[in-house]
């Protein structure tokens, strides 16, 4: 029987023994096994079990999927539609800030706010008719 330091090296695990996963093995190609008794009672026995390397089956590689088979959610890559919506929201916020500023100027200068809003309506309507 082979030994490594104070531990026997076995080729088969004895009945009632189990692999001890709590301790790393000090010798190559071995694992600790124990009889399952408590260390504190002094009845525990430990040995090393020789582990034989298993031949790995050759790895099988499959061809990558064709581009047609790849399905990605449309919004994943920020399509132009999403970017355009974001740009519109930013433009809308900027435009509203300008209008609020102009309304405050109207208030300070004593100008009629309704007249200013009517001018904006005329401007927007002229743009709508030009686009159609």
pLDDT for 77:
55
| pLDDT attached to residue 71 | 57
Among candidate residues 55, 49, 54, the one with its CA nearest the CA of residue 26: 49
> What pLDDT score was predicted for residue 73?
56
With a cut of 70, list the residues of the chain below it in pLDDT: 54-83, 129-132
DSSP letter at 36 equals S
Q: For the chain, how many helices (H) and strands (E)?
A: 2, 5
Would you state the pLDDT for residue 62?
65
pLDDT of residue 28: 83
Note the residue count of the chain. Answer: 132
Q: What is the pLDDT of residue 75?
A: 52
pLDDT at residue 55, as a whole number: 64
């Amino acid at each position: 029987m082979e030994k490594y330091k104070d531990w026997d090296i076995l080729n088969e695990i004895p009945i009632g023994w189990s692999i001890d996963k709590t301790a790393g093995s000090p010798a190559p190609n071995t694992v600790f096994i124990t009889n399952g008794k408590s260390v504190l009672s002094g009845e525990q026995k430990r040995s090393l079990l020789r582990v034989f390397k298993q031949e790995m089956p050759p790895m099988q590689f499959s061809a990558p999927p064709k581009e047609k088979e790849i399905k990605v959610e449309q919004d994943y890559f920020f399509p132009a539609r999403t970017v355009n919506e974001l740009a519109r929201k930013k433009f809308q916020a900027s435009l509203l800030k300008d209008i609020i500023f102009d309304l405050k100027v109207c208030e300070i200068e004593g100008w009629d706010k309704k007249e200013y809003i009517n001018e904006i309506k005329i401007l927007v309507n002229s743009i709508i008719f030009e686009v159609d």
